[in-house]
Amino acid sequence: MKFELGEDYALQLDAEDPLAGYKDRFYHLPGKIYMDGNSLGLLSRDAEKSLLHILEEWKTLGIGGWSGGEIPWITYAEMLGAMESGIVGAEPEEIVVCGGTTINLHALVATFYQPDRRRKKILADEMNFPSDLYALAAQIRLRGGDPDEDLILVESRDGRIIEEDDIIDAMSDEVALILLPSVYYRSGQLLDMGRLTKEAAERGITIGFDCSHSVGVVPHHFDDWGVDFAFFCNYKYLNGGPGATGSIYVNRRHFGRTPGLAGWFGNDRSTMFDMDTRFDPAKDASAWQIGTTTMLSTAPLEGAIRMINEAGIEKIREKSLKITEYLMFLVDEILSDPPYSFSIGTPREPERRGGHVGVEHEDAWRVNEALKARGVIPDFRPPNVIRLAPIPLYISYSDVWRVVQHLKAVIDNGEHEKFSKERSVVT
Ligand SMILES: Cc1ncc(COP(=O)(O)O)c(C=O)c1O
């Protein structure tokens, strides 16, 4: 794509943007440009409405909501899963909305990690989100293993990117399970999930993905790729609200397996209320639910997913690629030379990028603070990355233009130098 400099040009891109109309359906923070939707998506009127609807049902139906809600609450997790299935290339019964990201990792790995004498290692990588690595180590310990020996972490060659070739080279016949992210939380690199799944399958290794940083901004083809399982959070690009309920995908070839962490909500609905002492797992992905659907943490997602489906994930991806490329173009053109010295840590190839851009700077922490003081909300990830996420549904090209002008002004005026080098707890 070829871009030009200047605010008029940004406004022209906005005028041509087929998704521009969605911006007004979100609550924006007054006077701020919100570039952190890859951490926590903004509230939309649609999500607010579905939450209020469930509150109203609670108010008027009480416990009757479980069977008498407009969508009976007892099936809410499956219904929302079905609504999400199109954006990840799954069948409706392969997705269920339940638990939380790390909890769902535990539920899935407890099922799919079946170490034996020959194959007992889990293959992951050192750039994944730490919670996943903590959970994998815990799962290995639960099976009597030693994470120092049994958790193989593929290393990054440059401290940013993980090469698919290095992952494939590590797929030895000692590996029982592979767990990888789709998009890396720091660099924004998108892994080739189709290729990795094919290579794993050829070696008889089970493979799953944490798609928290890609679902809602990148189309997925879980079924076509043949992924064994996946999970993702719903509070980033899906805008389901802080700590929103997560999602699980289980490929239908695994239906009928007994979930490693069983609970009554995973029971077949037709026998659930028989209250039998024996677990009778559901015949699809809903078997991986554990306890009662957390209605109030799930309800905003209903409106949020409807909006994503209405906009269309392919159109969202199209804008995401264009607006992230535009952002990288502006950083290259305006901010790469001294005294600015910003650089891009995200791969340039469209097929290797998710929805955010990692902008690197040697004083990134303080620049990030100075940006916040100017009303831009980015986030910082150590050691030197400012993450900027131009969310397709609510960030405009002129927002991106202004963010880059703010970055320039921070350095021009030395505004970051006023801030302490000490980092705060939540970054
Ligand atoms: C890639 C990834 N995995 C896991 C988590 C942990 O999610 P949760 O706190 O919802 O368990 C996060 C949180 O941001 C994440 O980004």
Alpha-carbon span 393 to 43, nearest angstrom: 12
Cβ neighbourhood burial of 10 (10 Å; 0-12, 13-18, 19+): buried
Atom of ligand 1 nearest to the CA of 181: 1
What single letter denotes the amino acid at residue 312? G
* 329 in Cβ contact with 9 (< 8 Å): no
Q: How far is the CA of 129 from the centre of ligand 1 (A)?
A: 7
Contact between 424 and 365 under an 8 Å Cβ cutoff? The reply is no
**Ligand 1: which residues within 6 Å by Cβ?**
100-102, 129, 131-132, 181, 185, 210, 212-213, 233
Per-residue model confidence (pLDDT) at position 422: 85
- What percent of the chain shows pLDDT beyond 90? 98
The predicted-structure confidence for 214-267, as pLDDT tens digits, reads as follows 999 999 999 999 999 999 999 999 999 999 999 999 999 999 999 999 999 999
Residue 424 confidence (pLDDT): 74
Ramachandran category for residue 210: left, alpha or beta (phi over 0 → left; psi -120 to 50 → alpha): beta
pLDDT at 413: 98
Q: Is 62 left (phi over 0), alpha (psi -120 to 50) or beta?
A: left
Distance 104 CA to ligand 1 centre (A): 10
C-alpha of residue 295 to centroid of ligand 1, in Å: 20
- Identify which of 40, 103, 131, 298 to mutate to test ligand 1's pocket (most ligand atoms within 8 A of the CB): 131
Sites in the chain below the pLDDT cut of 70: 426-427
The Å distance, Cα 214 to ligand 1 centre, comes to 12
Which residue's CA is minimally distant from atom 8 of ligand 1?
A: 101
Question: How many whole angstroms from 27 Cα to the centroid of ligand 1?
Answer: 24
pTM as predicted: 0.97
- The atom of ligand 1 lying closest to the CA of 39 is 14
* pLDDT at position 1: 83
pLDDT at 155: 98
